[in-house]
Structure 1
């Protein structure tokens, strides 16, 4: 006889402080330790993912200047990043509506883009504004979070059910959004995305729970699933999500430098109420059962081999250890130059900014950074190779932290299923 329960039954258990709630990390550890909870011993599993999510955009309204200064904005730049004016013209009001792309690059520095700008806004920093008006005026000012009257993130393509790994089998380095720097050729490095068995859609493959209207945490703010995202498919689903930018935690969102300029990362957590055995059985899937294709970074969709997330994440380090005594204060610090999130500057490692990508450990010539990012055995062009993992574009530490935050919010009845 199949087992079933309703959302109302689980909610009542939460109210009675009798619900068994696990983060995905906690639940998977029990499985790996042969201590798997039974169907009756688990009510909710909070799942998370963090990574580069190019579909991120923000709709902002902010006060740029006093009313009557200009008729309407034609072009708007925030710290040099273009923000597209409209759809509302706001004639003569001194305020503007804009749509900001997370992948937009500053006209002054392509490594600084929408993702970095959104983090700067949330951190309360002053943002330079330049407006080119319809009548030919140039208005320059500065704003901060307090000047923004409304801000909403809409992710058109977020939380893919894991993704792809890339390597470069060619003789020359290839620049790509899938690597923090140009990826060297001759299979000298591998980069990948995806949080494996922590990922929400990996834990609800049939989307029994994750559907339009499902409540989520997006960068720490309560939001909703608007539906499946652009380029979503049954094999590789992703989500369209939305939440209030001003309620977000800057720790969970930011910029990520790539070989093609600045990108944006986000963190998503979704509760999976265990309503039936199908949902429960899907939660039992672990990293060793989650396959990931390895593709040619130049072709993107040209599969070379396949591996799984256990081989990519295993028990490898999630953050580097920095030994300042080994820093030789190079005239030009390669780590400071290539760190995707600007976590290393002035001989200091800011762990609040660190993404755990592994670039510092793989590129510092003085081995000042200790971090085991692992390697993977593959067969490419009929040749067995071991390729070091040099760059992760997903962060399991942030995914775990947001999943834990969601668990506590559910327990405290601050988040309703």
Structure 2
């Protein structure tokens, strides 16, 4: 007979301090050590993922002038990043409704876009605002987070169960959103996305738990699942999520430079209450069982072969070690130029902004950065090749941290299942 529990029963155990709650990382480590907790020994597993999530948008309302100074906004720019005015016209109110896309680039710098702007807002920085109004006026002002009346993130395509790794079998280098620099040809490097067995959807493949109305953490703020996202499929599901932007932690959201300009990354954590044995059995998946296709970066949907997340993540480093004494103070620092999150500037590495992508260690000319990102053995076109992993567009460290935050919030009854 299949065992069953109810949410109320688990909540009662939590209230009494009797619930066994694991993060996905903790749970998978026990599985890998052959110490898997039994069904009766686990009540909740908190799962987390972090990565570039292009379908991120913010709905904002803020005041830019006194009432009656302009009819309505036609065009809105925040630090040079265009936002769509409306849908409400706010006639003569001096306030603006706008929808900002995380992937929209500044008119001044394609590497600065919505993702960087959202982090700047959350970090309390002053934001330059320019409004072109319907009556031909230009209104300029500055705002901070405190001036924003309402702000909501809606992610249309988030937390993909798994994605794709890319390499370049062509002769010429290819510029793409899936690589921070043009990816060299002749299979000289591999880039990938996905947090493997830590991903919420990877642990609830049948979506017994993760469905419309499920409570989540999005970039540290409590939010909800609106349903499955755009371009979601049975094989590669993703989610439409929402939460209050002003309640988010800037550590978990930001910009990520690619070969095609600025993108945006987000972090998602979702609790999996273990209500029955089917849900429990789905949690037993480990990285070595999670396959990921390897595709031609020029074709994107042309699989060359496949690997798994154990090969991609392994026991490799999640953050670089920077030795300033090894820095040669180059006139033009390649790491400062290509760092996707601008974490390295003026010979200093800001670990709070570091994404653990591995670009610094793979591109520094003088080995000032030490980070093992690994390589993967593949068979492509009947040839055995070993390809170095040069760029990760997902961050297991942030995913783990948010899953741990969620675990503690559940234990402290700050987050109700």
Q: Which bin holds the TM-score, normalised by the shorter protein? A: over 0.9
Report whether the alignment pairs 1:415 with 2:415: yes
Name the structure 2 match of 1:259.
259
Superposition pairs for residues 189-208 of structure 1, below 5 Å? 189-208=189-208
Name the structure 2 match of 1:230.
230
Name the structure 2 match of 1:35.
35
C-alpha separation between the residues in 1 aligned to 2:146 and 2:6?
A: 42
C-alpha separation between the residues in 2 aligned to 1:408 and 1:388?
A: 37
The C-alpha deviation readout for 1:279-306, integer Å capped at 9, x for no partner, is: 1011011000000000000000000000
Name the structure 2 match of 1:243.
243
C-alpha separation between the residues in 1 aligned to 2:235 and 2:317?
A: 30
Superposition pairs for residues 327-342 of structure 1, below 5 Å? 327-342=327-342
C-alpha separation between the residues in 1 aligned to 2:365 and 2:66?
A: 53
C-alpha separation between the residues in 2 aligned to 1:180 and 1:205?
A: 30
Report whether the alignment pairs 1:100 with 2:138: no
C-alpha separation between the residues in 1 aligned to 2:222 and 2:187?
A: 42
Name the structure 1 match of 2:389.
389
Name the structure 1 match of 2:113.
113
- Structure 1 residue ranges (4+ consecutive) displaced by more than 6 angstroms after TM superposition: none
State the 1:151 CA deviation.
0.0
Scaled by the length of structure 2, what TM-score is found?
Answer: 1.00
The C-alpha deviation readout for 1:284-338, integer Å capped at 9, x for no partner, is: 1100000000000000000000000000000000000000011010000000000
Superposition pairs for residues 44-83 of structure 1, below 5 Å? 44-83=44-83
The C-alpha deviation readout for 1:345-364, integer Å capped at 9, x for no partner, is: 00000000000000000000
The secondary structure found in structure 2 opposite 1:404 is helix
C-alpha separation between the residues in 1 aligned to 2:27 and 2:271?
A: 13
| Unaligned stretches of 5+ residues in structure 1 | none
C-alpha separation between the residues in 1 aligned to 2:32 and 2:237?
A: 26
Superposition pairs for residues 114-153 of structure 1, below 5 Å? 114-153=114-153
State the 1:65 CA deviation.
1.0
State the 1:2 CA deviation.
1.2
Count residues in correspondence: 417
The C-alpha deviation readout for 1:206-229, integer Å capped at 9, x for no partner, is: 000000000000000000000000
The secondary structure found in structure 2 opposite 1:154 is strand
| Unaligned stretches of 5+ residues in structure 2 | none
State the 1:3 CA deviation.
1.1
The secondary structure found in structure 2 opposite 1:202 is helix
State the 1:169 CA deviation.
0.3
Name the structure 2 match of 1:380.
380
State the 1:66 CA deviation.
1.0
* Cα RMSD, aligned residues only: 0.4
Name the structure 2 match of 1:269.
269
Report whether the alignment pairs 1:85 with 2:85: yes
C-alpha separation between the residues in 1 aligned to 2:45 and 2:65?
A: 47
C-alpha separation between the residues in 1 aligned to 2:348 and 2:25?
A: 30
C-alpha separation between the residues in 2 aligned to 1:104 and 1:371?
A: 31
The secondary structure found in structure 1 opposite 2:201 is coil
State the 1:46 CA deviation.
0.1
Superposition pairs for residues 357-376 of structure 1, below 5 Å? 357-376=357-376
Scaled by the length of structure 1, what TM-score is found?
Answer: 1.00
C-alpha separation between the residues in 1 aligned to 2:224 and 2:146?
A: 24
The secondary structure found in structure 1 opposite 2:362 is helix
